[in-house]
Amino acid sequence: MIYLKRFYLIPWTLWCGLSFLLLNLAFFPFMYLFLLSGNSTLYRWTHQMPTIIGRISAFLWGIRVIVSGREHFDINTQYIFVGNHRSFLDAIISGGFIYNYKKFIGKAEILKWPFMGFILRKLYIPVKREDKDSRKKSMEQLIEKMKEGYSMVVFSEGKSNTTDEPLLPFKDGAYSTSCETQIPIVPFVMYGADHLWPRKQFLIRPGKIYLDFLPIVKPLKPTEDQIKQQKETVYNHMLVTYKKREIEY
């Protein structure tokens, strides 16, 4: 029976992949031209296009995103969004349902993608996660870009969590940046994404995902102890929310 269910997911996964490809191809000319234009308004619009692609993709893939906590922050204000990472869906969902003017920190390997590599160089900050110098350089770029008014979206675990633990230990980058720039953190927890598209599985299934935005965590002083304190506060809030959703799902 399990194999039969997986068989039916093969055409669904092919549909998801095809629809995502067609969406990106449809938006690519506009994004490319807007980025080349040098016009600040068009450049800003380009950053909203992945949001549109993410929302349309979720709808076409039969994924219902149940959002809570949006009242905790202002979509026109600058934040560092910190989320958990368990699925291939995480970037699509967080990109589609965080409306703020934003950039992502992501794997450097994605810059090698054909066509989209050019766009991603403009929209994202690449990092080689296993390279300490690369992580440091990415944080420096993050701080520079934040001076231009961008919010940032960071998966604080530093890699996808494929363990049975709710969260992996958090990296310091988001918190040292928050304390140095005095920009507050908005934690968010996604639950259910790994049930629909696990990191170790090719097949995609429809279903629901909870996306919970938690209350803002204000920056502290840029000292080692204060950065650690802020990181622990965010971690504990996210852990409680994740375990609550685990019971309800």
Q: Strands (DSSP E) along the chain, which ranges?
A: 63-68, 80-83, 102-107, 124-127, 151-155, 185-191, 207-213
Report pLDDT for 50. 87
* Amino acid at position 65, single letter: V
Q: Across 8-22, 101-115, 138-152, which has the greatest mean pLDDT?
A: 8-22
The tokens for 182 are 């005095």
CATH no. for residue 212?
A: 3.40.1130
**Per-residue pLDDT, 122:** 72
234: nearest Cα among 84, 76, 90:
84
Are residues 94 and 212 in contact, defined by beta-carbon separation less than 8 angstroms?
no
Helix, strand, coil percentages in the chain from 3-state DSSP, rounded to 5: 55, 15, 30
Domain range holding 106? 2-248
Section 93-122 average pLDDT: 75
pLDDT score at 7: 76
Can you list the pairs that 13-20 forms with residues at least 24 positions away whose Cβ atoms lie under 8 Å?
A: 13/202, 13/203, 13/204, 15/60, 15/61, 16/57, 16/60, 16/61, 16/204, 19/57, 19/60, 19/61, 20/53, 20/57
The tally of CA atoms less than 13 A away on the side-chain side of residue 54 is 18
Tokens of 138: 């990415």
Question: Which value, to the nearest 10 degrees, does the dihedral of the CA atoms of residues 245, 188, 157, 182 take?
Answer: -150
**Average pLDDT of the chain to the nearest whole number:** 87
Rg (CA), the chain: 18
Contacts of 167 (CB under 8 A, 6+ apart): 84, 157, 161, 235, 238, 239, 242
User: Strand, helix or coil at 80?
Assistant: strand
DSSP class of residue 169 equals P
Alpha carbon of 102 to those of 29, 49, 151, 190, 227: distances in Å?
21, 11, 4, 18, 23
E-assigned strands of 43-107? 63-68, 80-83, 102-107
Q: How confident is the model at residue 2 (pLDDT cuts 50, 70, 90)?
A: very low
- Domain tally for the chain? 1
116-160 pLDDT, tens digit per residue, is 666 667 777 766 656 566 566 767 777 777 788 889 999 999 888
In the chain, % of residues over pLDDT 70: 86
